[in-house]
C-alpha cells in the first residue's frame, strides 16, 4: 500500500455497523424516554429558568455563565474557559472585557508566558455571587422537590457516572486521533 493510500485509510471515518438486536436498538423509542433528549431538555429548562431569575439581577446569560464557571474553576486560562463554555476566544475576550470593566473579574498573566491570561473573580463580585448561588440553590430545590433525599443522591451519583463514562470516551477518542496522526 502506498504512503498516500495508507494516509487516506488512516483518516477515513470509521464505518458504523447497524445493531440488529432489539435490546440494542429500539425503533419506537420516544423522546420522553431518550437519555440524551432528557438530559439536554432538563439542562435547557434549568438554564432558561435561571436565566429569567438572573435577568432580575441585571445579568445576561453569558455573564452569569462565565461567573458560575469561574466560581467553580477560578484561575482558568482564557483558552480553557472558551473551550469549556464552547464559545470563540474573541467572543469570550470581549465578554471578559465587560466583566473586568465592572470590577467583577481580573486577568493575570503567567510569569512563564505573558500571553497566557488566567481569569479570577474579583472581590467586588462577591455580593452578586452570593445572591446567584442562593438563587441557584433555590432553583435546584424546586427542581428536585418531588424526589426524596435518597433519590436525589442516587440521581447525582448516576449523573457523575454518566459524565465519567462520556469523559473517558472523549479521552479515548482524542487518544485514537493522536495515535492515528502519529502512526
pLDDT tens-digit readout, 72-95: 999 999 999 999 999 999 999 999
pLDDT tens-digit readout, 108-131: 988 888 888 999 999 999 999 999
pLDDT tens-digit readout, 96-108: 999 999 999 999 9
Q: How many CA atoms lie within 13 A of 170 on its CB side?
A: 6
β-bridge pairing 117-121 and 105-109:
antiparallel
Dihedral angle at the C-alpha atoms of 141, 145, 150, 152, nearest 10 degrees? -60
Domains (ranges, CATH) in the chain? 40-146 (1.10.10.10)
Q: Residue 27 pLDDT more than 80?
A: no
pLDDT on residue 147: 95
* Range 3-18 average pLDDT: 55
pLDDT on residue 41: 94
Of the pLDDT bands very low, low, confident and very high (cuts 50, 70, 90), residue 148 is very high
Q: Which residues pair with 106 in a beta bridge?
A: 120
Threshold 0.75, pTM exceeds:
no
Amino acid at each position: 500500500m502506498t504512503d498516500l493510500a495508507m494516509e487516506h485509510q488512516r483518516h477515513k471515518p470509521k464505518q458504523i455497523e447497524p445493531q440488529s438486536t432489539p435490546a440494542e436498538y429500539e425503533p419506537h423509542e420516544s423522546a420522553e424516554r431518550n437519555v440524551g433528549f432528557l438530559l439536554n431538555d432538563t439542562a435547557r429548562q434549568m438554564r432558561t429558568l435561571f436565566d429569567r431569575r438572573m435577568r432580575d439581577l441585571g445579568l445576561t446569560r453569558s455573564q452569569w455563565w462565565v461567573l458560575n464557571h469561574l466560581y467553580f474553576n477560578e484561575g482558568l486560562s482564557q483558552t480553557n474557559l472558551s473551550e469549556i463554555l464552547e464559545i470563540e476566544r474573541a467572543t469570550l475576550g470581549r465578554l471578559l472585557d465587560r466583566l473586568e470593566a465592572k470590577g467583577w473579574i481580573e486577568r493575570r498573566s503567567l510569569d512563564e508566558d505573558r500571553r497566557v491570561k488566567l481569569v479570577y473573580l474579583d472581590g467586588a463580585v462577591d455580593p452578586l455571587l452570593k445572591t446567584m448561588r442562593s438563587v441557584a440553590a433555590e432553583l435546584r430545590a424546586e427542581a428536585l422537590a418531588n424526589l426524596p433525599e435518597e433519590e436525589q443522591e442516587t440521581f447525582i451519583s448516576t449523573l457523575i457516572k454518566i459524565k465519567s463514562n462520556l469523559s473517558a470516551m472523549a479521552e479515548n477518542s482524542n487518544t485514537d486521533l493522536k495515535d492515528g496522526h502519529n502512526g
